[in-house]
Structure 1
């Protein structure tokens, strides 16, 4: 019985040592953390030639900023997700509320649309937050 056990053990060890060795897995690139923002995460659009004005309007820049941030994880254009739809926000607010809404994007908040808090976006500039708000308000039905 001991011989059978030893023979099986030796055979198993020989098989393991002769099998093809796998390469160590390559390190995966870091995953973006959408809970915090670097100041450069939302770059300001600058003209190629500093003497020329920026050709892109605030609404299209705002749309790009919204699409590049984590906003679409909680908001949809035309339906409630975790937070209100952008069309519902646009229906409730006017251009007079741009500063207020930009501050809400940066500071976060809760209570206006329910008890689920909106994540703050502290690394976002006030200028870019206003562009995001202008885009959202442009979605008014």
Structure 2
């Protein structure tokens, strides 16, 4: 019995040591059921570190609109990026409903622009 367990352990370690690892790559899976990968952006990383995920999801409306809905409404251009960056920093209400978005006044304008650019690129 001990020999079988030892043999199984050696085989298991041998098989796992030859598996490919993407942990050092700057790519992430976009879903549990998907094998599609994309390179994460600086804006996406900033969003992940902020409180945005409490109100927004990529493909579902929570408290605020989904990133896909935002990307459908606004074209990916400098005017939209600047507008959304301003909304992220100042907050606001009325565009997507009565519930206001909280202001993020400590956020740098360049970081807000990166976040807006990522949101508009999720089409």
Please report how far the alpha carbon of residue 68 of structure 1 lies from its aligned counterpart in structure 2 after TM superposition: 0.3
C-alpha separation in 1, matches of 2:87 and 2:116: 10
Please report how far the alpha carbon of residue 66 of structure 1 lies from its aligned counterpart in structure 2 after TM superposition: 0.3
Q: Does 1:120 align with 2:87?
A: no
- TM-score norm. by structure 1 comes to 0.57
Structure number with larger C-alpha Rg: 1
Structure 2 gaps of 5+ residues are 1-39
- The C-alpha deviation readout for 1:11-49, integer Å capped at 9, x for no partner, is xxxxxxxxxxxxxxxxxxxxxxxxxxxxxxxxxxxxxxx
Structure 2 counterpart SS, 1:106: helix
1:91 to 54, 59, 72: 72
Please report how far the alpha carbon of residue 98 of structure 1 lies from its aligned counterpart in structure 2 after TM superposition: 0.6
Greater per-residue strand proportion: 2
C-alpha separation in 2, matches of 1:62 and 1:91: 18
1:79 to 47, 56, 60: 60
Q: More relative contact order in 1 or in 2 (CA 8 Å, sep 6+)?
A: 1
Root mean square deviation of aligned Cα:
0.9
- The C-alpha deviation readout for 1:64-107, integer Å capped at 9, x for no partner, is 00000000000000010000000000000012311011000000
Q: Does 1:61 align with 2:42?
A: yes
